[in-house]
């Protein structure tokens, strides 16, 4: 594992801008897969702040911005946040921030993280009206601490319950789905903001599983521990192409009993997990959950009969969404 | 003539019994959610939402599988607030039978669980109480851990039990 400074040196020359149709084919994951093995490692940054929650368990929101800045600086190799964000998002495009409020208040993407990202996006040149915070519905957004807002001149926040779904289904493998119009029509690029959770079916829910919130009937993809449902869904071109970056909320988590709020299994990793390679990000998140389960004396996910096999499926030759091989990951902890 | 009167009397008795069965004896839907103020300090802060088994995923996504496997029929939920500060959610799962409720409760028991006297059986954690009564399973979670939380949750649980 490299230090933050070493990482910044080695990645400073790398290009990163996501979501632009002109560059999408040359950068990020596509580029990684075409490069020699030594240059092909998927970058995953785990940024931590042990003091993120106070003694009573309350999130110190002022520290979230700093944690985000450290994560993005490490990922991009740019110390100044504005410069770093300019390498991530294109100007003049509508950026979606896909949160996850399904678990309800207490185990949903934190509003403090969303606000911190919105602030940096605007400083990087994205107009307020070009930012859409979204999830399945108003109740999910409320669980994240946000309210519906549709004024196009300001940061918008609304759900699929407002915008609806496409009439025509699209398919890949077992996934035949009607996509949310927010994804297909309203956003040109999506930054994925899942929250790390144990999941009663999938084993772990994080980056790829959060895409269940962009389809009309997610329950149809829950069979066989969501395998290959998760991988197939993420291979649908609109999902694969538009959702290009994950800033995963691992500030609070549940290591068992998820995906709902189970305070008896609540845990505060105090971390953000950042990366373009959704498979590598999910693999990293899964390992984090397993370590916590071992520490707490809870059986492994394999012993619990819900190993997240969809992660390996997403990496196979049919899906090629990223890598689940630690040897092909460049994991940075800052 | 006397024989005819007996037949008429018997017919009237049968009619009354049938009418009673169709009206007065009909099982009423139970509202298990205490109204604001019914349990000291607790205010009901949302409408009750109900999900049939086939739609339970809309509420709890992957959690739904274990309840469906245990025979859940429907789930109702409502939010509460204690003394204007502590927020909590009450979930009431109506299972097909008592065995289903028992199965879910047993799965929830861990080494940190503390047995509590609510319903047929119950356990409490620092921020939650789970109990069963007949074919009903109730789960109450608080979103903050305060010194008052355990006792407040237990009082609310008893309030729910009293309405089952």
Closest CA–CA distance from residue A141 to any residue of chain B (Å) = 14
Say if residue A3's pLDDT is above 80: no
The per-residue pLDDT for B12 is: 72
Closest CA–CA distance from residue A314 to any residue of chain B (Å) = 20
Give ∠ CA A206-A3-A74 in degrees, rounded to 5: 50
For chain A, what is the HEC assignment? CCCHHHHHHHHCCCCCCCCCCCCCCCCHHHHHHHCCHHHCCEEEEEEECCCCECCCCCECHHHHHHHHHHHHHHHHCCCCHHHHHHCCCCCCCCEEEECCCCCCCCCCCCHHHHHHHHHHHHHCCCCHHHEEEEECCHHHHHHCCCCCECCCCCCEEEEHHHHCECCCCEEECCEEECEEHHHHHHCCEEEECCEEEEECCCEEECCCHHHHHHECCHHHHCHHHHCCHHHHHHHCHHHHHHEEEEEEEEEEEECCCCCCCCHHHEECCCEEEEECCHHHHHHHHHHHHHHHHHHHCCCCCCCCCCCCCHHHHHHCCCCCCCCCCHHHEEEEEC
For chain B, residues with pLDDT lower than 50 are 24-27
Q: State how far the Cα of A178 lies from the Cα of A176, in Å rounded to an integer.
A: 7
Q: What SS3 class is residue B115?
A: strand
Summarised one tens digit per residue, pLDDT across range A79-100 is: 999 999 999 999 899 999 999 9
- Taking residue A111's Cβ as centre, other Cβ atoms within 10 Å add up to 19
Average pLDDT over residues A231-256: 97
Range of the domain at B44: 30-161
Q: What SS3 class is residue B49?
A: strand
The per-residue pLDDT for B60 is: 87
**Helices A4-11 and A61-76, axial angle in degrees (round to 10):** 50
Token representation of residue A32: 């990684």
Closest CA–CA distance from residue A277 to any residue of chain B (Å) = 24
> Which range is least confidently modeled, A20-34, A143-157, A309-323?
A20-34
Closest CA–CA distance from residue B112 to any residue of chain A (Å) = 8
Chain A residue numbers touching B123 (CB-CB < 8 A): none
Closest CA–CA distance from residue B28 to any residue of chain A (Å) = 30
Closest CA to A33 of A325, A331, A333, A332: A325
Burial of B140 (0-12, 13-18, 19+ CB in 10 A): buried
The per-residue pLDDT for A247 is: 98
* Nearest CB to B65 within list A104, A200, A261: A200
Q: State how far the Cα of A227 lies from the Cα of A312, in Å rounded to an integer.
A: 10
Instruction: For chain A, positions 182-201, list CB contacts with chain B under 8 A.
Output: 199-201
The per-residue pLDDT for B63 is: 85
CB B106 within 8 A of CB B141: no
The per-residue pLDDT for B11 is: 72
CB A204 within 8 A of CB A198: yes
For the domain that residue B74 is a member of, what is the CATH number?
A: 3.40.1000.70
Summarised one tens digit per residue, pLDDT across range A170-187 is: 999 999 999 999 999 999
Any domain includes B65: yes
Any domain includes B83: yes
Summarised one tens digit per residue, pLDDT across range A126-173 is: 999 999 999 999 999 999 999 999 999 999 999 999 999 999 999 999
Q: State how far the Cα of A112 lies from the Cα of A313, in Å rounded to an integer.
A: 33
Question: At A16, is the pLDDT very low, low, confident or very high (cuts 50, 70, 90)?
Answer: low
Any domain includes B66: yes
Average pLDDT over residues A310-326: 97
Q: Is B84 left (phi over 0), alpha (psi -120 to 50) or beta?
A: left
Any domain includes B102: yes
Q: State how far the Cα of B89 lies from the Cα of B128, in Å rounded to an integer.
A: 10
Instruction: For chain A, positions 242-271, list CB contacts with chain B under 8 A.
Output: 257-264, 266
Could you tell me how far CA B130 lies from the centroid of its own chain?
Answer: 11
Residue of B nearest to A296 (CA): B111
Q: Domain tally for chain A?
A: 1
- Indicate yes or no: CB of A262 within 8 angstroms of CB of B141: yes
Say if residue A305's pLDDT is above 80: yes
Average pLDDT over residues A58-69: 94
The per-residue pLDDT for A282 is: 98
Asked if A38 has any chain B CB less than 8 Å from its own CB, the reply is no
The per-residue pLDDT for A156 is: 97
Say if residue A283's pLDDT is above 90: yes
Chain A residue numbers touching B112 (CB-CB < 8 A): 264
Chain B residue numbers touching A218 (CB-CB < 8 A): 57, 61
Any domain includes B9: no
Closest CA–CA distance from residue B30 to any residue of chain A (Å) = 25
Average predicted confidence (pLDDT) for chain A: 89
Instruction: For chain B, positions 76-115, list CB contacts with chain A under 8 A.
Output: 87, 89, 108, 110-113
Q: State how far the Cα of A304 lies from the Cα of A324, in Å rounded to an integer.
A: 21
Say if residue A13's pLDDT is above 70: no
Range of the domain at A91: 4-333
The per-residue pLDDT for B19 is: 57
Average predicted confidence (pLDDT) for chain B: 88
Asked if A205 has any chain B CB less than 8 Å from its own CB, the reply is yes
- Indicate yes or no: CB of B128 within 8 angstroms of CB of A263: yes
The per-residue pLDDT for B28 is: 55
The per-residue pLDDT for B2 is: 56
* Nearest CB to A264 within list B62, B64, B128: B128
Say if residue A36's pLDDT is above 80: no
Q: State how far the Cα of A243 lies from the Cα of A26, in Å rounded to an integer.
A: 16
- Indicate yes or no: CB of A263 within 8 angstroms of CB of B112: no
The per-residue pLDDT for B21 is: 53
Interface size A-B, in CB pairs within 8 Å, comes to: 63
Residues 6+ apart with CB under 8 A from B49: B59, B76, B77, B78
Say if residue A37's pLDDT is above 60: no
Could you tell me how far CA A233 lies from the centroid of its own chain?
Answer: 15
The per-residue pLDDT for B99 is: 97
Say if residue A269's pLDDT is above 60: yes
């Amino acid at each position: 594992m490299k230090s933050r400074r070493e990482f910044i040196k080695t990645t400073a020359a790398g290009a990163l801008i996501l979501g632009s149709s002109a560059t999408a084919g040359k950068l990020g994951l596509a580029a990684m897969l075409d490069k020699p093995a030594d240059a092909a490692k998927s970058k995953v940054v785990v940024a931590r702040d042990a003091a993120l929650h106070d003694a009573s368990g309350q999130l110190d929101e002022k520290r979230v911005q700093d944690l985000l800045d450290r994560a993005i600086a490490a990922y991009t190799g740019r110390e100044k946040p504005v410069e770093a964000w300019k390498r991530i998002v294109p100007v003049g495009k509508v950026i979606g921030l896909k949160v996850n409020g399904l678990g309800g208040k207490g185990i949903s993407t934190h509003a403090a993280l969303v606000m911190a990202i919105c602030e940096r996006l605007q400083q990087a040149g994205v107009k307020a009206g070009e930012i859409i915070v979204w999830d399945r519905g108003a109740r999910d957004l409320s669980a994240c601490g946000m309210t519906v807002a549709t004024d196009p001149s300001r940061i918008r926040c609304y759900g699929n319950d407002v915008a609806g779904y496409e009439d025509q289904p699209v398919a890949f493998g077992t996934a035949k789905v009607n996509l949310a119009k927010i994804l297909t029509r309203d956003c040109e690029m999506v930054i994925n903001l899942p929250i790390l959770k144990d999941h009663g079916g999938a084993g772990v829910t994080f980056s790829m599983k959060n895409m269940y919130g962009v389809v009309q009937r997610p329950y149809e993809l829950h069979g066989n521990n969501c395998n290959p449902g998760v991988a197939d869904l993420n291979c649908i071109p609109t999902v694969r192409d538009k959702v290009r970056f994950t800033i995963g909320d691992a500030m609070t988590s549940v290591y068992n009993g998820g995906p709902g709020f189970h305070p008896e299994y609540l845990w505060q990793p105090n971390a953000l997990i950042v990366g373009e390679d959704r498979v590598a990000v999910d693999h990293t998140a899964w390992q984090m959950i397993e370590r916590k389960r071992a520490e707490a004396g809870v059986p492994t996910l394999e012993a619990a009969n819900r190993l997240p096999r969809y992660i390996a499926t997403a990496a196979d030759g049919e899906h090629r969404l990223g890598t689940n091989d630690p040897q092909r990951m460049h994991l940075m902890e800052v | 003539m006397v024989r005819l009167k007996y037949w008429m009397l018997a017919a009237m008795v049968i009619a009354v019994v049938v009418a009673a069965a169709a009206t007065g004896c009909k099982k009423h839907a139970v509202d298990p959610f205490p109204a604001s103020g019914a349990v000291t300090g607790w205010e009901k802060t949302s409408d009750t939402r109900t999900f049939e088994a086939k739609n339970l995923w809309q509420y709890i996504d992957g959690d739904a599988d274990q309840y469906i496997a245990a025979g859940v029929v429907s789930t109702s939920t409502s939010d509460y607030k204690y003394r204007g500060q502590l927020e909590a959610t009450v979930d009431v799962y109506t299972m097909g039978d008592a065995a289903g409720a028992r199965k879910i409760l047993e799965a929830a028991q861990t080494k940190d669980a503390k047995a509590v006297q609510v319903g047929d059986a119950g356990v409490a954690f620092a921020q939650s109480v789970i109990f069963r009564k007949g074919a009903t399973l109730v789960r109450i979670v608080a979103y903050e851990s305060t010194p008052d939380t355990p006792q407040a949750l237990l009082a609310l649980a008893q309030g729910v039990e009293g309405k089952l």
